[in-house]
Amino acid sequence: MWALVYARHGSLLVGGAAFVVVAYVFNHNFFHMSIGPVSMTLGRLLLAGLVVLFLWRWRQGTVEQHPLTGCDWLVALFAGYLTVRYAFTPAPTGIASSVPPTWRLIASFWMPTALYWIVRNAKSSERTWKAMLGCLVGLGVYLAITGLAEVSEQWWAVFPRFIADPTLGAHFGRARGPALMSASLGVFLAVCFWATWFLWARVSRGQQFVLVGAMALMAAALYVTYTRSTWLGLAGGLAVIPLLHLPRSWRPVLLAGMLLAGIAGGVAVGDRLVNMGRADSNGSAGHSVYQRASFFLVSMNMFRDAPVVGCGFGRFYDCKMPYLANRSQQIELEFIRQLDHHNTFLSLLTETGIIGFTLFTAMLIAWARAAWHLIRDSEAESWIRAQGLFTLATVIAYLSSAIFHDLTLSPSEQWLLYLTTGVTVGLHSRARCHVSANASAKTPTFAQPAIPLGCPST
C-alpha cells in the first residue's frame, strides 16, 4: 500500500537516493532470495520498482524529457560497448576473478545506467534535491557511527551483524562498512560529507550545528578506514570546493589556511601516513605500494598485446598469469597473482582496450564539464549551482580511489557516481532548453500584413 502511495506522489529523485542507501546497507549478505537463476536483494527489488514507476510515468507524460546531451550518448555507448565486449568474450577455462563478469556487467554498468536515466529525467526541485541530500546525510551518519564502532570493537553498535564477521570480505580491523571494504566505505563517507556540506546552508541554525557535528563524525570515520586514496579524495575536494563555493573575499584566507594545514600535517603525521602500521584480514596491506607497480607493468604488457579491444571483459585475473613470469625487470610480479586489478582505468584498458578506456574517460570528462556549466551559470538557482559543485566533489572522490582500486568490482560506488551525475546532466539539459527558448523568444519577428476577407467593389 505504501508503495502504491509513493508511486502516485513520490519523487523519482528521492527514490534513486533511497535505492543507493538500501542497496548499500541491506546488501546480499543481509538478505537475498532466489527467483529462478536470479538472486534478489532489497536493493534490486527497489530498483526494479523504480524502473516500473519510471516507465509508467513516462507513458503518462509526467517525467521531464529534455534533449539528449553528449553525456547521455557517452553513457549509452559505454554500456553498449561493454555489453558487446562481454558477449564476445569467452569464459575462463580455469581460475577466474572473484567477481563473475556477468554480475559485474549487470551490477556495475547496467543498473547504474538505469539509475542514471531515471534521475536524469525525474522532475527535480529544491525540495526534492534537499530530500536527496538528506538521504545521503543520514547514510553518512550511520556509516560513521558503524565505522568508529568497528575500530573500537564495540560490536553491539555495529549493524548489520555480518560486518563483525572476520571471514567475510577484506580489511577486517579497519572501518569497512556494509560493503566489507575500506575503500568503498571511504568513498561513501566522502560523498556523504559533501552532501552534508551543501545541505548545511539550507537548514535552520540549530540544524546547522548538528550537521557540523555530522561532518566531523564522517571525517573521523574516514580517517580510521586507513585508506590513503579516500583521504586524498576528501583532501582534494577540500582544496577545490570551498574556493568555488565560498565568497571570493574568503579565497586568500582559505589558501593560506590550506597551506599552513598542509605543512603542519606533513610535519606532524607525514611519516605515519606513509608508513601506516595496518593489518588486514587478507594480509595484503604490507605490499600495497609494490603491488601498484606490479599492476602497472603487467597492464602495460597486456595492453601492448591487445591494444584495441583488450583481453576480454572480466578476464584480467586469469589472462595476467603468463605475464607474471617476466623477469626482465626488478619488480616482483608474483605479488598480484591472487588479486584482481587495483586500478579502474588500467583494468578497463587491459580488458576492453583503448575503446573502452576512451569511452570511460570521455564520460567522466563530460560529467565534470556539465557540472562546471551549472557552477558557472549565473542565471541558475543557487541549489542548481550547488548541485554542480556537489557533482564535482563526487567525481574528485571517485577518481582518487579509482586510481588505486578497481571500483567496477564494487558496484555500489558506480551507483553513487551515476546518481549524482544523472541529476546534474538532467539539470544541465533543462538549462540548455531554457536558454534556447529564451533565445527564440528574443528573436525579432515582423508582422505580416492582414489578408483581406474580400475585395471592395470598384
Give the count of beta carbons closer than 10 Å to the beta carbon of residue 139. 23
344 — pLDDT class (breaks 50, 70, 90) = very high
| Residue of 419, 431, 440, 442 whose CA lies nearest to 64 | 431
d(CA 138, CA 133): 9
Across the chain, mean pLDDT equals 86
Q: Is the pLDDT of residue 171 over 90?
A: no
Cell triple for 443: 528573436
The count of other CB atoms within 10 Å of the CB of residue 246 is 12
Give the Cβ contact number of residue 1 at 10 Å.
Answer: 5
Q: pLDDT digit string (tens) for 115-140?
A: 999 999 998 899 999 999 999 999 99
CA–CA gap between residue 425 and residue 367 (Å, rounded): 7
Q: Which residue has the cell 564522517?
A: 218
Give the pLDDT band (50/70/90) at residue 288. Answer: low
The DSSP output letter for 61 is T
**3-state SS, residue 118:** helix
Segment holding 196, helix H or strand E: helix 182-200
Instruction: Indicate whether 444 pLDDT > 70.
Output: no
| pLDDT tens string 272-283 | 555 554 555 444
